[in-house]
Structure 1
């Protein structure tokens, strides 16, 4: 039957149906791509995260090493973006990580923990702040980016820092779900604390692809 021959009632019903379908389709697309403006953090803080960035929700980290005997060792997989904690030959913990991005890769190799610092700050990357501590210029490299007059350098916070290769170490930080650091190995806050408690100076650290 031709469309123009349908009764007015049928045409009105058909029109309402088509409008409803179109509206529901648009709503679905909007919902799928909607940006809420909220920022998600594994440890519930904002201090270590770039502005406007979204942090990966951590559903893969776990720990069952309390009371387990055996020599500790950490194996960091760049490909998996995970750190494995061993006691003896047993894996007793796994942490999601964010390692060095393309221009600042985390070097592979075998190392040992050289330093532990619970409230460490970077000597190279951070912000320029004024006398009141307000940020004047953020995400700068000390000695490279010009310092605004009257400001001073404040290193980026790197809680529970576990140095294993020069300026590189494991610490609590922002995890976007991909390599994004300047070479360090960022962990969720609760996993950085756990690893920190269970490593000692000299604990082996292996970084591999």
Structure 2
């Protein structure tokens, strides 16, 4: 269960609370949707196809924190999607994954967990697991 007002994820196993983690959820304009969902896709090493950086041929970042739908790619660069390790999709483009967590909303709608907690949640979450998001 993900509690948006607390910025915490509660992991239940067999009906018993097994773990709690801080999270970072969606900001205004990109709020994390509330409701009941199911994990529909899992991937250990996933990269975003929307958000990331434009890098040159040598791999140097030339433009950071881009949205490919809004930010024009500078000549001579390619798009490198943001890393989303321990990716668990649960509602369209919305997923849980490892990322920066400061205890407040700061994502594009996904639920970010600290890397070590994302790994634990990933390893203990089978496909089809129910994900509840509430305020």
Normalised to the residue count of structure 2, the TM-score between the two structures is 0.97
Equivalence for 1:30: none
Equivalence for 2:99: 173
Any idea what the Cα deviations from partners look like across 1:13-37, whole Å, max 9, x if unmatched?
xxxxxxxxxxxxxxxxxxxxxxxxx
Q: Does 1:146 align with 2:72?
A: yes
Question: How much has 1:87 moved relative to structure 2?
Answer: 1.3
Unaligned runs of 5+ in 2: none
- Hey, which of these two has a bigger chunk of helix by percent? 1
Give the RMSD, CA atoms, in angstroms: 0.7
| Larger relative contact order, structure 1 or 2 (CA cutoff 8 Å, min sep 6) | 2
Where do residues 98-177 of structure 1 align in structure 2 (5 Å cutoff)? 98-177=24-103
- Distance across 1 between alignment mates of 2:25 and 2:114: 12
- Hey, which of these two has a bigger chunk of strand by percent? 2
Where do residues 1-209 of structure 1 align in structure 2 (5 Å cutoff)? 75-209=1-135
- Distance across 1 between alignment mates of 2:118 and 2:53: 23
Normalised to the residue count of structure 1, the TM-score between the two structures is 0.63
Secondary structure of 2:82 counterpart = strand
- Distance across 1 between alignment mates of 2:121 and 2:99: 14
- Equivalenced residue count is 135
Equivalence for 1:10: none
Unaligned runs of 5+ in 1: 1-74
- Distance across 1 between alignment mates of 2:22 and 2:55: 31
- Distance across 2 between alignment mates of 1:143 and 1:85: 34
Secondary structure of 1:119 counterpart = coil
Moved beyond 3 Å, runs of 4+ = none
Question: How much has 1:108 moved relative to structure 2?
Answer: 0.3
